[in-house]
Amino acid sequence: MELAETKHLVDVAAGRTPADLVLRGGRIVNVLSCEILEADVAIAGEFIVGVGRYEGRETIDLGGKYITPGFIDGHVHIESSMLGVAEFAKTVVRSGTVCVIADPHEIANVMGAEGIRYMLASAKYCPIHVYMMVSSCVPASQFESAGAELTANDLQALLGNEWVIGLAEMMNYPGVISGDDECLRKILVAGDRPIDGHAPGLTGQGLCAYAMAGIESDHECTTEEEAREKLRQGFNIMIRQGSQARNLDALLPLIKPDTVDRFMLVTDDKDIVDLRSEGHIDHMIRRAIEFGIDPIHAIRMASHNTARYFGLKKLGSIAPGRYASINILDDLKTCSVVQTYHAGRLVHDNGNVIDRDADKRKSHILRSTINVQRIKPEQFAIHVDATDACDVNVIEVIENRIDTERSVERMPVVDGCLHADAKNDFCKIAVIERHQASGRTGLGFVRGFGFSCGAIASTVAHDAHNLVVAGMNDDDMCAAAVHLVKIRGGLCVVDKGQVLASVALPIAGLMTDCDAAILEGQIKKLHASAAALNGQLRRPFMALAFLCLSVIGKLKITDGGLVDAEAFKFIDLIAKPEND
């Protein structure tokens, strides 16, 4: 900031010069002192310059409405919304979100540093702040074939960007605990910047080692006990409520006046349908208030706590020197956001986004990222040596969770192969490597989708984002996979060889180039088509995507085959006797 600008802002704060804008007659939710105040908020340029009594060139009487800090999502993968960055920003600002801390982990696993640079470029001139954490685990594990690899040296170069503020979730917690050199190099490269964690179920000395390495947060807690131990070991807890992983209700009992400053609200992965129907961080605030959390504390977890953790000193509260990134609420308990100001400019007014900088944004053309060998129905056949029946390791889907259970089931062998079985809810699943046209295909079975026919397929498959297909027969599985290759990536539902619904995701096979309303309609049709196959899951495609996430258990599948995510090793599809 130049001297002349600083002097002007000081003059306005001291009352010697009128403010550009004065918000009068509002009730300020002060998350610093945890009280509600009646005072003017004076704004000059991008900043709040004073709270008290002020005169301005423009004065707006709020008539008793509430003024809160703008909300911040402390951990989100924008790609999971399947929207481009700017369209995502326009969607969440309607919910009062003025800043997100994004981990571009998904596109990084497809395109490496090129993908992260694309996200950074796309974030310019959006109606919210979009900060990035540089992706720490590309690939996520040695069990999957990603489209890129990022070393500590690669991360160091990216950390030079002013919008990159830290190291994203260190998913390879076994590597950290064992003292893996490359994991520790990546942590050291981050220096004093925030380093996010990802350590589901980690406890005891392993958790101590993880903290000792410099990791300061975790968003994978699913129980009070897990979160309590991580609090005791110094972690900041990110409470997650996305479309698939929904941990808010389980963790809210831990929030007390003496612990509230250690919690943040995050979405991690939330699809467009939930964003437009439920909202974003405002939805979590409402749920917390309904549970009995003090509304000021709920808003503090969605603003000040997050800003402080990430070192964003100009965000997260209503006080002089902070950005004028604030919300106007009709009602505090229902967190009804009617207006949002971002850096002093009105960007959201009663559901309408004021996108002043749209003409400044540039379009960025990316290369195609779908590269596969020719796909045939025979590729999905599961041949076994047994002639009668055999015991099979089966992935068990858990609704509203990204981890799974593992079971061993007896399956009949017909013509030397294992087949899907609608009666017992055994669905075949295949993961086809889609970056190097290697032809690698992992095959297995999953229970929980409930399909009686057809197939669904996706190129959104955490974290390597290979092509994943689940179905009840090989022909439909093949047809679904081939369709996604033709449309350069996306999602689809197929039955009897016909595509019932599909969504094209031409940006890295992860994101669309259309607007939010169009995408929402496409996704709703997709979900309805999956339900027509007798699908039982609320979000079948998000569940499908997480079946490939090999770093969180218990049993997952990649292009290399079945992965025991607890023992961190490949296992055979055919179960071995326990004494082997």
d(CA 275, CA 216): 28
pLDDT, tens only, 179-222: 999 999 999 999 999 999 999 999 999 999 999 999 999 999 99
What is the CB neighbour count within 10 angstroms for residue 216? Answer: 14
Q: Residue 140: which pLDDT band, with cuts at 50, 70 and 90? A: confident
Structure tokens at 264: 């943040």
pLDDT, tens only, 436-448: 999 999 999 999 9
What pLDDT score does 580 carry?
Answer: 53
Phi first, then psi, for residue 160 (nearest 5°) are -75, -15
pLDDT, tens only, 315-332: 999 999 999 999 999 999
Helices (H), 105-258: 105-111, 113-122, 152-158, 173-178, 181-189, 204-212, 224-232, 248-251
Mean pLDDT over residues 161-173, rounded?
96
Q: Residue 578: which pLDDT band, with cuts at 50, 70 and 90? A: low
Please choose, from the candidates 399, 296, 367, 290, the residue with its C-alpha nearest in 3D space to the C-alpha of residue 29: 296
Q: Find how far residue 473's CA is from the centre of its chain.
A: 32
Supply the angle between the helices 113-122 and 85-93 in degrees, to the nearest 10. Answer: 50
Residue spans of the domains in the chain: they are 69-316, 377-571
pLDDT, tens only, 554-571: 999 999 999 999 888 999
- The secondary structure of 492-540 as a DSSP string is EEEETTEEEEEEE-TBTTTB-SS-HHHHHHHHHHHHHHHHHTT---SSH
d(CA 497, CA 477): 9
What pLDDT score does 294 carry?
Answer: 97
What pLDDT score does 365 carry?
Answer: 78
Cis ω before 139 (30° cut-off from 0): yes
Please choose, from the candidates 559, 538, 573, 543, the residue with its C-alpha nearest in 3D space to the C-alpha of residue 406: 573
Q: Are 71 and 316 in contact (CB under 8 A)?
A: no
d(CA 218, CA 212): 14
pLDDT for residue 579 is more than 80: no
Phi first, then psi, for residue 495 (nearest 5°) are -145, 130
Q: Are 408 and 395 in contact (CB under 8 A)?
A: no
Q: Residue 364: which pLDDT band, with cuts at 50, 70 and 90? A: confident
pLDDT, tens only, 39-61: 999 999 999 999 999 999 999 99
CATH superfamily of 69-316: Metal-dependent hydrolases (3.20.20.140)
pLDDT, tens only, 242-274: 988 899 999 999 999 999 999 999 999 999 999
- Kindly report the pTM of this predicted structure: 0.93
What pLDDT score does 53 carry?
Answer: 97
Paired residues of 571 in beta bridges:
562
Distant-in-sequence, close-in-space partners of 309: CB < 8 Å, separation ≥ 6: 74, 194, 216, 217, 236, 264
Characterize 541-563 residue by residue with b for buried, 16 or more Cβ atoms within 10 angstroms of its Cβ, and e for exposed.
bbbbbbbbbbbbbbbbbbbbbbb
